[in-house]
Structure formats: structure tokens, C-alpha cells
């Protein structure tokens, strides 16, 4: 199926406000735009069924609970999980913090956690905090920017103490798509827990938690056209049942006495307090939108876009342009990270256009909106020999015209700042 970009764009109110002459949005790895269907689902809840969930036996309370429970079922099915394996959280960051806080209780306090250098800070810092809090050791393995992480990479970093491995399925800075299924299977054979950061994969390709052989998996709603402040933690039921709760309070209990309490069944065990009801409903609407397009089609569209980007890079021959990540579109998401710098030196601390200036000028020159900075991936950024890069990232409402506008802007910046 060929994606009709113009038809898709018609569902997004922001593209009615801004024509392509005004804004070309290429910061989708940070957050995506929201279709009318998502906004209307949230508005409809507030207008028609606004009540708290799981307690009220009156009409709107039952309607709210039904909408919330349906959202859990719909989103869980989207990743091949059961509803009782899906915990609603604020974002992937909170999901990974739950993993880093609670999973070491099962792994043991003297255990090691293995992560990679390409990880987002959300899959680094929580484990470092856990290292200080409970004494586990966090170990970071190297990875090459032009290829995937393999089982061989993982295996040579394992020790007798390795009890948890936590990896991103798709890098938010390199665009590398890691094939994690074999890694998950072999880790389970060794009795090692496997955690997956899927913040950059669930919105862009078909993800099945059973095929990944993972114990826990995290993703965010705002990166897949859902609202901000809602995300999900998938957990194998037996793992969620064994891990301790993350927070205490209402909703996560069955009974409370003066000296003790009993916990609610999963997933409510991890959902203390009033949840983000409207966020779950909005995310479910985003899932419906993606299901209509088909995740295979989403992935193919982005694969074609990154291929066109790499081809245009070769065609335009901007001398100062240096990009990072795999050159094979089959293992790369729609993420294009780059710099404009003088010379061929690997180090770019000196003669280069600061990514903040690239981002500012790209907007001023062509209305192209891109990200700049370390992209919450400082270990990988520093390993590339720099402090910061610029990043363009694509989604279903982008096409060749947007890629061409990006390179038009880069050529103009090159002439102004480098030549």
C-alpha cells in the first residue's frame, strides 16, 4: 500500500494552520503532531463521560471505566500483549524508571546490568541511580555507529553477575534498528532479564513483545501521535506479579489496614492514584489511526524516505555535511543526524556550524524544523567525536518535498557559514 501523504496531512489541524511554505516539521523523534481523531477522542471524553474510573457505579463512571479499559485492551493488542500486561505510565522514561527501580529486587543487589552506548538517557540514568541505591553495577558496551548491536556484542560483555540487559530497539540518534529477537531468546536461555526501550520503534514499525522475547518494554504516546503525559510499560505477567510496586496509594491496593495492605492485581498494582484517563483514550485513538494505515506501510514509507535522504546526500555533495548512522535503509529508521563542518577530521569540536545555529537557520531559510543538541544521548554523541549534532526525523506526513527542503536549507547554510 502506498501512503497518501496529502490525505494523511488533512487529518492534522496544525497543517491547516501552516502551509509547507511556512513549516516543514522534521522533529518527530522528539514528538509527533496530533490528528483530529486523537483530539476529538479526548474532547469527547471531557464533554460526555468525564468521571473517575474503577469506583463509580453511576452512568458516567461506568462509561469512563469502559473507555479506559477498552483503551488498555486496544493498545495492548497493538504490541501483541494481554491487557493485564500493560501498565499506563506518564512516558517511556517513567516506564524505564519502574524497570530500574523494581527489577533489581528480582535480579539481586550484587548483579550487573548491561546497556549499550547508543541508549537514550532514560535507559542510562535510571540504572545509574539504581547502582547507587541498591548496589547493582551498570556496564555500558561499545557499539559502532554504522551497524546493529548483535548477540555476539552482547555475549562478549556478559559476566557471571549479569542479570539484566536493557537495550533500545531503535536508536534515537543513529536511527539504528536493532534485531533483538535472538538476543532476547538467548538471554532467556541464560536466565537473564531483558528490558527493551521501544520509544522509537513502536510508533514506526510493527512490534510484537512475544517475538522480542522481552520481559519489560517501554514506549511513549506522544511519539506516536498520542497526547503527552501517557506512556506504557509492558511486562510479562509473571514478572509484574513478582516485582514490588513502584508507588503506593489509591487504586494499587485491594485492602489497607492499620499495619499492612494487600496489593491489587496487575496491572493496577503499578497505577497508584487517579490515572491519565483522557491520555489513555487519546493514545488508543492514535493506535486506531496507525492500524488503519498499517504498521508495515508506516515502516516502508519511512524506509523509503531515509533511502531518499541518503541518496540526496550523495547527489547534492555538500562538502561540509557529515552524517551518522547505518547506510543501509533496511536497518535504519527515519532519523538523519548530521553536522556541517570543515575538513575530514573525526573530531568536530572546532570548525563546524553549531547545531543550534543549523536548526535556527533552517527554520529561518526554509521553515524546516529540526532538533539540535545531544538528543539525550551524550555517551553516543561524545563517542562520535562531538558535543552536539543536528537531527531531522520523519513520520507518515512527511515526503520527498520535505527532504528536498531540508537539503535546500543545508546548502544555503553551507554557503553562508562554511564557504
Any idea which residues carry the catalytic annotation?
Answer: 376
Q: What is the DSSP string of 331-393?
A: GB-SEEEEEEESSS-S--SSSEE-HHHHHHHHHHHH-EE-EEE-TT-HHHHHHTTSS-EEEEE
**Which three cell numbers, joined as nine digits, stand for 286?**
492514535
Name residue, grid cell 553495577. 137
- CA dist., res. 113 & res. 392, Å (int): 31
CA 391 to each of CA 5, 92, 315: distance values in angstroms, whole numbers, following the listed order: 22, 20, 19
- In whole angstroms, what is the distance from residue 282 CA to residue 43 CA? 9
Cα–Cα dist 277/361, whole Å = 40
379 touches 290 (CB < 8 A)? no
Angstrom CA distances, 382 to 46, 173, 198, 343, 389, stand at 46, 12, 23, 19, 10
Please state, in angstroms and as integers, the Cα–Cα distance from residue 310 to each residue in 202, 379, 397, following that order. 23, 25, 19
CB count within 10 Å of CB 37 equals 16
What cell does 186 get? 538467548
Do 38 and 328 meet the contact criterion of CB atoms below 8 Å apart?
no
Amino acid at each position: 500500500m502506498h501512503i497518501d501523504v496529502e490525505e494523511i496531512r488533512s487529518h492534522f489541524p496544525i497543517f491547516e494552520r501552516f502551509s509547507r511554505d511556512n513549516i516543514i516539521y522534521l522533529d518527530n523523534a522528539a514528538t509527533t503532531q496530533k490528528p483530529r481523531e486523537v483530539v476529538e477522542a479526548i474532547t469527547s471524553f471531557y464533554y460526555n463521560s468525564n468521571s473517575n474510573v474503577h469506583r463509580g457505579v453511576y452512568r458516567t463512571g461506568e462509561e469512563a471505566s469502559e473507555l479506559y479499559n477498552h483503551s488498555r485492551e486496544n493498545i495492548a493488542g497493538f504490541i501483541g500483549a494481554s491487557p493485564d500486561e500493560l501498565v499506563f505510565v506518564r512516558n517511556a522514561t517513567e516506564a524505564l524508571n519502574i524497570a530500574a527501580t523494581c527489577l533489581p529486587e528480582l535480579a539481586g543487589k550484587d548483579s550487573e546490568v548491561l546497556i549499550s552506548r547508543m541508549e537514550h538517557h532514560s535507559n542510562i540514568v535510571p540504572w545509574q541511580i539504581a547502582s547507587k541505591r541498591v548496589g547493582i553495577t551498570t556496564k555500558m558496551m561499545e557499539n559502532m555507529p554504522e551497524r546493529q548491536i548483535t548477540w555476539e556484542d552482547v555475549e562478549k560483555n556478559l559476566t557471571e553477575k549479569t542479570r539484566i540487559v536493557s537495550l533500545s530497539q531503535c536508536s534515537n540518534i543513529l536511527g539504528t534498528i536493532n534485531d533483538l529477537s535472538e538476543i532476547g531468546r538467548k538471554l532467556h536461555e541464560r536466565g537473564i532479564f531483558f528490558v527493551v526501550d521501544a520509544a522509537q520503534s513502536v510508533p514506526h514499525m510493527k512490534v510484537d513483545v512475544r517475538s522480542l522475547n522481552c520481559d519489560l518494554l517501554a514506549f511513549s504516546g506522544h511519539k506516536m501521535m498520542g497526547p503527552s503525559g501517557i506512556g506504557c510499560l509492558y511486562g510479562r505477567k509473571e514478572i509484574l506479579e513478582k516485582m514490588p510496586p513502584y508507588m503506593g496509594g489509591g487504586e494499587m491496593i485491594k485492602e489497607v489496614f492499620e499495619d499492612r495492605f494487600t496489593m491489587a492485581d496487575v496491572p493496577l498494582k503499578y497505577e497508584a492514584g487517579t490515572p491519565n484517563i483522557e491520555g489513555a483514550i487519546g493514545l488508543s485513538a492514535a493506535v486506531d489511526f496507525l492500524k488503519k494505515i498499517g504498521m508495515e506501510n508506516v515502516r516502508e514509507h519511512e524506509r523509503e524516505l531515509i533511502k531518499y535522504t541518503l541518496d540526496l546526500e550523495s547527489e547534492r555533495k555538500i562538502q561540509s555535511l557529515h552524517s551518522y548512522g547505518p547506510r543501509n535503509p533496511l536497518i535504519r529508521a527515519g532519523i538523519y543526524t548530521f553536522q556541517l563542518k570543515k575538513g575530514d577530521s573525526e573530531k568536530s569540536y572546532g570548525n563546524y556550524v553549531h547545531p543550534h545555529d543549523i536548526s535556527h537557520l533552517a527554520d529561518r531559510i526554509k521553515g524546516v524544523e529540526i532538533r539540535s543538541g545531544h538528543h539525550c544521548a551524550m555517551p553516543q554523541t561524545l563517542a562520535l567525536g562531538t558535543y552536539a549534532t543536528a537531527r531531522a526525523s520523519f513520520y507518515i506526513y512527511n515526503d520527498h518535498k520535505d527532504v528536498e527542503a531540508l537539503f535546500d536549507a543545508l546548502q544555503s547554510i553551507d554557503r553562508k557559514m562554511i564557504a
